[in-house]
Amino acid sequence: MELAWFLPLSTDVRHIGQWPEEGPDPTLDHLVAITEAAESAGCVELLVPTAYVTWLETFTAAAAVLARTRHARMLLAVRPNQFHPAQLAKLVLSLDLMFPGRIRLNVTTGGWDEDRWIGAEEDRDTRNRRLREWLEILDLIWYGEHPVHFDGEFYSITGTMTVRRMSGHIPIAMSGSSPSVRRSLVEHGNSYLLFGAPPEQVAAEIQGLRSTPGHRDDITVGLRVHVVVRPTEAEAWAAAEDIVSRVDPRARELVAAGRTDPASQRAVQQALAGAREQVVSPNLWAGIGTARFGVATALVGEPEQIADRLEEYAALGVGSFILSGYPKLEEAARFGQLVTPLLRRRGLL
C-alpha cells in the first residue's frame, strides 16, 4: 500500500469546530515540517486541498513546499469551475517542468456553497457535462497534437499550444459515485478516491467502479480517512473525544443543516456523522463529521488495531490511504512511530 498525508492550508488545529481556530499558522516552515514528518512516517504524497475559505491557495502553497523538500509528491485538489482547462494545463505543466514526477491532480466534482463566490453554481448534471469537456481539453493540450482546437458546450478554444510539451504523464485522481463521473474516471483518470466508510460500503463502491463500462485494471483505489492512534485503545478514544470537546454549538448546527446536500459521497459522510451510534464499524468513528464537512470518519485505536483496519481495506482493493490527524504535524510523527513499523513488518509498505 501507499501512504499519503494531508497538508493543511489553514490553522493546524487540535480541536475542530472552534471559531476563531487555535493552532499554528500555515507558514511555509510549518508546512515543510508537516511534509518532512509525513515522509519520515512512510508517506509518499501530500494531499493539498482546495477552498476559498483557507488561508492559502493550493498551487501557490504546493510550489513553495515542493521547492523546500526533495521527495514527496503533491496531490493538488482542483474543481473544474475554478480554472479554464487551458489555464490549468499550463499551470500544471509549469509545476511538472520544475518538479518532475512530483505532481498529481485530485479533480473534485461536488458542488460547494462557495461556488457562488465566483458565480459558478451549477447542478450536478451540468457539472458532470462540464467535467468531461474539461478533462478532454487537458488531455489534448498535454498529450495531443498542437495546435489544439475544441468546440464544445462549455469550452471553445482555437490554436491553443504550449512551447514545452509534457514529458511524462500527470496522474489524475477522482471521486464520485454517479455513473457519469465514473465514466469520466475510466476515460481520463488513474485513481478512484473514497472517503472512509464501513468496509461493506467501500467494497460496494469499488465494485461499482469495476462494473463501469470501459473499466481498466490499472485504476487504483485510495481511501481518505483521519487517524487517532495511541499506545492503548482507551487513550485513543479519549484523544478522539478531545478533538470535538470544544466545538462551537453554531458549528454543529451549521454542519447538521448541511446534511441535506444531495452530492453522493458528501451525503454518505454526513449520514455517518448523523448516525445515532457514531462508531459505525470496528474502530471507525464518525464523530469528526459532527463539526466539519468533508471526510467525517477516523480510525481510532491502538497501533495493532489501526494496522488491522488498514490491512482489511487493502484486502478489499484499496491501494493507497490519505491519512490525517489533529494536529497534522504532531499526528504525522505519532503515526510514524506507532503504526508505520507495524505495516513494514507485515510487508504492507
- For the segment 151-169, what is each residue's pLDDT rounded down to a tens digit? 999 999 999 999 998 889 9
What's residue 274's pLDDT? 56
Is the pTM value of this prediction over 0.85?
yes
Residue 290 one-letter amino acid: T
Under the banding of pLDDT at 50, 70 and 90, the label for residue 269 is: low
State the pLDDT at residue 276.
Answer: 55
pLDDT at 321: 98
Write the DSSP symbol of residue 165: P
Q: What is the pLDDT of residue 256?
A: 75
144, three cell numbers: 495531443
User: How many C-alpha atoms does 348 have within 13 Å on its Cβ side?
Assistant: 25
Per the CB < 8 A criterion, the answer to whether 44 and 11 are in contact is no
Confidence of residue 271 (pLDDT cuts 50, 70, 90): low
Q: How confident is the model at residue 252 (pLDDT cuts 50, 70, 90)?
A: confident
Separation between Cα atoms, residue 312 and residue 316, nearest integer Å: 7
pLDDT at residue 257, as a whole number: 73
For all residues of the chain together, what is the average pLDDT?
A: 92
More confident residue, 177 or 209: 209
Q: Give residue 265's pLDDT.
A: 55
Q: Is 151 helix (H, G, I), strand (E, B) or coil?
A: strand
